[in-house]
Amino acid sequence: MTQTYTQAPISAAEFFAGRSYTQASAPGRVNLLGEHTDYNDGFMLPIATPQRTTVSMAIGDEPGFRFYSATLGSEARFGGGGGDSNNPGEDAPTGFARYIFGCIRLLGERGVAVPGLRVHVDSNVPLGTGLSSSAALEVATLRALRSLLAVELDDVALALLAQQAEIQYAGVNCGVMDQMASSLADAENMLFLDARTLATRILPLPAAAEIIVIDSGVARTLEASKYNERRAECERAASMLGVPALRDVVDVDAVEALPEPLRQRARHVVSEDLRVLDAIGGVSAAHFGQLMSASHASLRDDYEVSIGALDSLVALLCATDGVHGARLTGAGFGGACVALCRKGAAADIGASVVKRFNAGGGSAGLLLPYSAIH
């Protein structure tokens, strides 16, 4: 693979230089409730980000692949020696290109003949903050491939393929939430997802409420190793309780006999599933906010995936008038938090909390102006 960089971003029109191309896009996601439940076959409530990743694609007139990211100003070329998706030639791509290549390769394994391609990526989904920019890239890539090559693939099958691209080509042993949310959610409603059956329901946000998302400014560290450790702990807990997955434990007290830290880990997952099931009953914004704050406490104390900066931001948010509740969102160990606020108040609350947090030496930033779209 050869990788080159451009000074100024190149637009899709410039990149394709007069050729026609297919374009598709997909959003990132913010999880409102139900964290670390997907790989336990449980329940969750993500919503799509208004920000999206756009993938433009055309069949190349030379063999091999050229992937360009306008966001990173970086181009990867590989497979030029007559390679196709099953024979990329030289070494497999790295960086942003591996997500695209993973999607192509997986379609190839399913019998789709993928020719040499030119791919242009542009995105305003925040990178590295836990809002699933990688799922957005995978889902947008598969949508573009589906339409360019007329592949029959429904949105759930597409999400599962995107998840496999993440697991097999980016090396992250993730659950199914991010890709399902990117494939099926919109930025106005919550997507209720059952990770076992993959059944989904679109639900309205609590009445008179809106969302803000604040990046803690702390990069996610330890995420991969601790994520895998938590997954293993959950599997051990389920096996000791004699159930296929923690989703099958419906009584929180049932976990009390487990040894530590399995008792704490299982208590988070079982109580988190119950919070999601409570939240989908059309509850008030105040009640939904309490569930979010309880989720944060559980992630901090029982699941131990929070960090000081996220705890401080959540505490500042919860002490602010107009905030119904707040929690970390995503895997934890850094990244962003989400709050449910009184409708119309989110932008001011976000700006004032970020200012107060940063006055204490932090480097938080407001990520999602959800208010702009409601």
Which residues carry out catalysis? 178
The answer to whether 43 contacts ligand GLA (rule: CB under 6 A) is: no
Q: For residues 139, 142, 146 and 151, what is the CA-based torsion angle, rounded to 10 degrees? A: -120
Q: Among 38, 75, 122, 215, which residue interacts with ligand GLA (rule: CB under 6 A)?
A: 38
- Of 294, 289, 236, 240, the closest CA to residue 268 belongs to 294
Total Cβ atoms within 10 A of residue 338: 28
The answer to whether 137 contacts ligand GLA (rule: CB under 6 A) is: no
The answer to whether 273 contacts ligand GLA (rule: CB under 6 A) is: no
The answer to whether 39 contacts ligand GLA (rule: CB under 6 A) is: yes
* Options 71-79, 149-157, 171-179, 349-357: segment touching ligand GLA (CB under 6 A): 171-179
CB of 174 to ligand GLA, least distance (A): 3
* Closer Cβ to ligand GLA, 93 or 175, answer by number: 175
The answer to whether 330 contacts ligand GLA (rule: CB under 6 A) is: yes
- Alpha-carbon distance of 369 to 298, in angstroms, equals 27
Q: Residues 213, 218, 223, CA angle at the centre, nearest 5°?
A: 95
* Options 8-16, 33-41, 47-55, 313-321: segment touching ligand GLA (CB under 6 A): 33-41
Strand partners, 293: none
The answer to whether 35 contacts ligand GLA (rule: CB under 6 A) is: yes
- With a CB cutoff of 8 Å and minimum separation 6, the contacts of 220 are 128, 129, 130, 330, 331, 332, 333, 334, 335
The answer to whether 174 contacts ligand GLA (rule: CB under 6 A) is: yes
The answer to whether 247 contacts ligand GLA (rule: CB under 6 A) is: no
| Tokens found for residue 222 | 């330890």
* Closer Cβ to ligand GLA, 100 or 176, answer by number: 176
Exposed / middle / buried, residue 70 (Cβ in 10 Å: 0-12, 13-18, 19+): buried
- Alpha-carbon distance of 71 to 123, in angstroms, equals 6
CB of 228 to ligand GLA, least distance (A): 11
* Closer Cβ to ligand GLA, 56 or 179, answer by number: 179
Task: Let me know: does 185 contact 177? Beta carbons within 8 Å.
Answer: no
Q: Among 184, 331, 346, 353, which residue interacts with ligand GLA (rule: CB under 6 A)?
A: 331
The answer to whether 233 contacts ligand GLA (rule: CB under 6 A) is: no
* Options 11-19, 95-103, 146-154, 174-182: segment touching ligand GLA (CB under 6 A): 174-182
The answer to whether 178 contacts ligand GLA (rule: CB under 6 A) is: yes
Q: Going along the chain, which residue ranges are E strands?
A: 2-5, 22-31, 43-44, 46-59, 65-69, 74-78, 117-123, 189-194, 200-204, 209-215, 323-328, 336-342, 365-368
DSSP SS3 for 154: coil
* Closer Cβ to ligand GLA, 26 or 76, answer by number: 26
- Of 200, 164, 206, the closest CA to residue 185 belongs to 200
* Closer Cβ to ligand GLA, 84 or 233, answer by number: 233
CB of 369 to ligand GLA, least distance (A): 22
* Options 32-40, 61-69, 287-295, 312-320: segment touching ligand GLA (CB under 6 A): 32-40
- Contact positions vs ligand GLA (CB under 6 A): 35-36, 38-39, 174-175, 177-178, 330-331
